[in-house]
Amino acid sequence: MEKQKKELSIEEAYQLLENAPRENKELWIKHSVNVAIVAERLADELNLNGKRAYVFGLVHDIGRRKREHTGLRHIIEGYNYLISLGYEEEARGCLTHTFYAKNLVKPNLIKENTNLTRTEIKFILEYINKNGFNIYDKILQIADNMGSASGINTIERRRTESMLRYGITDITERNLRGIFNVQNEIENKLGYSIYTIFPEVADNITKTLIKDVVINLK
Ligand SMILES: [Fe+2]
């Protein structure tokens, strides 16, 4: 008989966030809660397990618990942490949420400042090659791109903010196409725009001025 997989409850997931030994963890935790909200709603709408998606959202960035890991350091930290606690499915999301297709894994892993060792890069490549991306991974990818610390937004706005903050490299266009492909796949399943189920987005857009989104506007 297959061993029953250990499942992290919503309460325990919040406890892990609370216990993160870090100062200034407020922004990162707010982001995680909004990601959880988006993931749950998308999963429910797709007739999947919304509560599981909520938990995956809450802990997808748990690798940031000790410090703001630069680059992709946080994905392996989060994976190892949750595996050490016995939560395999939750750990999976930590690794898969930043890649939008199998052929985007390597170019993202070898770009500058990933802060990963060669062994870690090899592990991530092999893991994703073997496991691919399931529907919950894809939901998490979309949710991570919609939930910010301040609320729920369009993928376009979140990506633009990040491009202005971190700059645009040759992989940026491929990642952009990658995330829109994932959005397209989910919208094909739904039969309508993902934003239909997020009235918060229209609300955010009408209430926000561009100077509050793009810093250093003249
Ligand atoms: Fe995130």
Distance 93 CA to ligand 1 centre (A): 10
Residue 4's pLDDT is 72
Q: How many CB atoms lie within 10 A of CB 93?
A: 32
Reported as a single tens digit per residue, the pLDDT across 55-64 is 999 999 999 8
Whether the Cβ atoms of residue 108 and residue 179 lie closer than 8 Å to each other: no
Distance 1 CA to ligand 1 centre (A): 35
Distance 139 CA to ligand 1 centre (A): 12
Cα 105 from chain centroid? 15
Output the CA–CA distances (angstroms, integers) from residue 55 to 21, 182, 207, in the order listed.
20, 21, 29
Distance 148 CA to ligand 1 centre (A): 8
Residue type, 23: E
With left for phi above 0 and alpha for psi between -120 and 50, is residue 193 left, alpha or beta? beta
Reported as a single tens digit per residue, the pLDDT across 115-160 is 899 999 999 999 999 999 999 999 999 999 999 998 999 999 999 9
Output the CA–CA distances (angstroms, integers) from residue 98 to 8, 21, 109, 127, 209, in the order listed.
21, 23, 10, 14, 28
Give the integer Cα–Cα distance in Å for 32 and 140: 11
Residue type, 145: N
Whether the Cβ atoms of residue 180 and residue 188 lie closer than 8 Å to each other: no
Residue 1's pLDDT is 54
Distance 144 CA to ligand 1 centre (A): 5
Q: Which stretches of the chain drop beneath a pLDDT of 50?
A: none
Q: 209: which 2 tokens? A: 């001025």
Distance 34 CA to ligand 1 centre (A): 10
Distance 6 CA to ligand 1 centre (A): 23
Give the integer Cα–Cα distance in Å for 12 and 9: 5
| Whole-prediction pTM | 0.94
